[in-house]
Structure 1
């Protein structure tokens, strides 16, 4: 495994190791690629439910070159609550853009945000420009259009730019290496809560879950468009914090359960720690595996996703949460409680590709998948599903309150999925693309494309609309062989 040093503003490509025929083997390092350096702008995003502010913290030149295709620097997918634009300061020409969402935006809809202010660390990354630039953060307004909420000037050659980070605390492992980073989607799997003696366990789990991801369509068909890396720092104690049960563990990334008071919501709010570890591997997307048995996970579009690696449902969690982070897919379920506010009285059209308020049924956003004659809204066994779900959710809450063994929760999930599959198997619209009411955490007013999907329940397939949404992001980051 070899890490080439940065020289004259260009850093050689990183190829540490790759998995071949079920074993990790060395990969010859390719010649250095003329990619620009990677710039990271760290800032503080603070405020409350009504107001928000931004303040620059620092500008960092990361140790590895820009991992992306320089011919695809502008984002045309229209995803995310926010958009970053990097524009030439003199001409105003936009050099780079990407959609993303934030932990702050979710927190701002919680009850706490109506009572107090909080600040969150955030970062945007972009290829190093030759001249000073304006970095703009845009936010969707009430019409769903982006408008500028913060602008700051950045000179990446200024004296206060951080140019020499600390030596890498650990070396990434190549799980799947299919080509130069600029031609591929780079996924970095980070571990949190693994002791030094559990590093092999982390590597094996990362490999297993990556294999599962690439056995799931449309990732399966596009597996060669990805590189996958794994990286973790050891902890003194096994597992991450779960405050609701009195468990508090120090971990390098600070990942924990009970985010915003939701027992199953797992995130880190230590963006600095996350970025300073991640910068030691090529990446565009991050999934954090927590070394815990308890069901849980989370996903923020363009930031990271998490999954409880030791849970019986780890395969599902890994893929479902990655769907949020990678493609900005909405949750299609609506009977499970969430910690933050949802649509409210006014149903604005969601930006997510797999949910709609159906204001104009004749022009539903996934119209190309809807066959002529399909009724919109599309009937389904909604009342029967909700009656069973209410009973299931009551039992789920009781198990958590009693702190019952995780095996009992897993058995309940299996029972619930089996009942849903049986109920839906009798519905003539089970495999129809239409507009099924109940999505985006709301029983009324929001609609999903198909009756069943990984984003709806713990089934094992993405619906056709979600698959299409994923493919669009793969196309944004990978370069076809013909080009």
Structure 2
């Protein structure tokens, strides 16, 4: 069979990088459980795994200084205490514990951390952000990656990675793995087409457009028996390898997998640092957890937006800037300064975290037609809920979304601070007390571009992973 140009290029790159990859250490994965409730949490080690592929990252960039996420993993020399590796991240458990259910019961979630194989025994520490917004050690476990009980052999890959966008050796690039769920064997061509279409759109949006050569993109899907994923609220239950489903935490549009073990055992057969799961569904939905994965309904009319918006959560820890849509989370007491780079409690306007983008004379807080927007949004949300309750065709929901976006643009276009960077009240699911940088941004509604502050937040993470040789 004749190879396509990109496939041939990818094959040549992989062959040419074989010696360099051989110098890379193995990839270690520590699987553990994280359990608890709204008030307390506990950890327990499940297993230590040597993954099949070498470490995909740049060994010169082992330390994370982004200060994002609810958690941080630190790998330290067990004897000397020297820091060997760190990464910030958030978890599904961290989101769940803010729900109403977490105030009533305890639950357990699977989690994993990955790092380059050390030459000596190490201590793996999980840190948690406290009420002072500082990290403190929440759990620590001794790990000898050469120990007898470490899992050193893996079963064959259940699917073969497809090169989508290959720019160079993995250690010099950001490696994005697009996984498919809800695609049957007959849907495999559709999956590849979806992955190519949506990754191409990602690289049409700044700053990904300007940094496309800093990325590799791979795609892989394990076929399912039926097309589409589980949607319990409508009585649809479709088993799949990843276990992705709608209705997470009672939110009809929230799509995640809670089966971390299944996710990692499939993903380990491709070079990856970030994962986006495409679900083969038309119904609007998606989700994103910083440092874990993101999801998007590939067959929805708004798939382009969903793919990029949710990837913004997963890749850069960007906060949702909207606040009028119903969410599963409970309001936090007080107004702590968020760790996310694109929202603020504005405790000290003179020290605004994105002040370099604010022009002299811009008022803080920054005026915008908040009351008028909220009045229209209440009517829109009422229509949206009615459409879902009646299980109306998705085309009607898509039309409502278009109508809402058109109305918002018409309202904003008349405003003097339409294109200003400032501090616009209403963000982070709260109508008051939190502020976003711009009147409109891809993290606020279904518009097409990231504001400059979000672009900065994304670029900083690209810089953390992409090697200097690729710049």
TM-score (norm 1): 0.95
The answer on whether the counterparts of 2:173 and 2:470 sit within 8 Å (CA) in structure 1 is no
Query: C-alpha distance in 1, partners of 2:4/2:81?
Result: 42
User: In structure 2, what is the equivalent of residue 229 of structure 1?
Assistant: 218
User: In structure 2, what is the equivalent of residue 289 of structure 1?
Assistant: 278
Query: C-alpha distance in 2, partners of 1:94/1:305?
Result: 29
2:342 pairs with 1:358: no
User: In structure 2, what is the equivalent of residue 122 of structure 1?
Assistant: 111
- Superposed, which structure 2 residues align to 1:424-439 within 5 Å? 424-439=412-427
- Superposed, which structure 2 residues align to 1:291-330 within 5 Å? 291-330=280-319
User: In structure 2, what is the equivalent of residue 444 of structure 1?
Assistant: 432
The answer on whether the counterparts of 1:265 and 1:296 sit within 8 Å (CA) in structure 2 is yes
Q: Secondary structure at the match of 2:395?
A: helix
Please identify, of 209-218 and 30-39, the stretch whose mean Cα deviation from structure 2 is larger. 30-39
Q: 1:173 aligns with which of 162, 171, 179?
A: 162
Spell out, residue by residue over 1:16-64, the C-alpha distance to the aligned partner (whole angstroms, 9 max, x if none).
x8863xx887622223221000000000000111110000000000000
User: In structure 2, what is the equivalent of residue 349 of structure 1?
Assistant: 337
Spell out, residue by residue over 1:183-227, the C-alpha distance to the aligned partner (whole angstroms, 9 max, x if none).
000000000000000000000000000000000000000000000
Going from structure 1 to structure 2, the CA distance change for 1:52 and 1:46 (only over 3 Å counts) comes to: same
User: In structure 2, what is the equivalent of residue 63 of structure 1?
Assistant: 52
Q: Secondary structure at the match of 1:348?
A: coil
The answer on whether the counterparts of 2:317 and 2:340 sit within 8 Å (CA) in structure 1 is yes
Which segments of 5 or more consecutive residues in structure 2 lack a partner in the other structure?
none
Q: 2:43 aligns with which of 54, 60, 83?
A: 54
Higher helix share: 2
Query: C-alpha distance in 2, partners of 1:350/1:385?
Result: 24
Q: Secondary structure at the match of 1:239?
A: coil
Going from structure 1 to structure 2, the CA distance change for 1:200 and 1:25 (only over 3 Å counts) comes to: farther
2:96 pairs with 1:107: yes
2:233 pairs with 1:249: no
User: In structure 2, what is the equivalent of residue 14 of structure 1?
Assistant: none
TM-score (norm 2): 0.97
The answer on whether the counterparts of 2:172 and 2:470 sit within 8 Å (CA) in structure 1 is no
Which segments of 5 or more consecutive residues in structure 1 lack a partner in the other structure?
2-16
- Superposed, which structure 2 residues align to 1:135-154 within 5 Å? 135-154=124-143
2:19 pairs with 1:32: yes
The answer on whether the counterparts of 2:214 and 2:470 sit within 8 Å (CA) in structure 1 is no
The answer on whether the counterparts of 1:19 and 1:174 sit within 8 Å (CA) in structure 2 is no
Spell out, residue by residue over 1:399-451, the C-alpha distance to the aligned partner (whole angstroms, 9 max, x if none).
00000000000000000000000000000101100000000000000000000
The answer on whether the counterparts of 2:213 and 2:470 sit within 8 Å (CA) in structure 1 is no
Going from structure 1 to structure 2, the CA distance change for 1:439 and 1:24 (only over 3 Å counts) comes to: farther
The answer on whether the counterparts of 1:18 and 1:177 sit within 8 Å (CA) in structure 2 is no
Q: 2:447 aligns with which of 459, 462, 477?
A: 459
Q: Over aligned residues, Cα RMSD in angstroms? A: 1.3
User: In structure 1, what is the equivalent of residue 204 of structure 2?
Assistant: 215
Going from structure 1 to structure 2, the CA distance change for 1:397 and 1:482 (only over 3 Å counts) comes to: closer
* Deviation at residue 482 of structure 1 after TM alignment: 7.0
Aligned residue-pair number? 465
- Superposed, which structure 2 residues align to 1:323-342 within 5 Å? 323-342=312-331
Q: Secondary structure at the match of 1:435?
A: strand
Query: C-alpha distance in 2, partners of 1:292/1:19?
Result: 30
The answer on whether the counterparts of 1:189 and 1:206 sit within 8 Å (CA) in structure 2 is yes
User: In structure 2, what is the equivalent of residue 414 of structure 1?
Assistant: 402
Q: Secondary structure at the match of 1:131?
A: coil
The answer on whether the counterparts of 1:18 and 1:175 sit within 8 Å (CA) in structure 2 is no
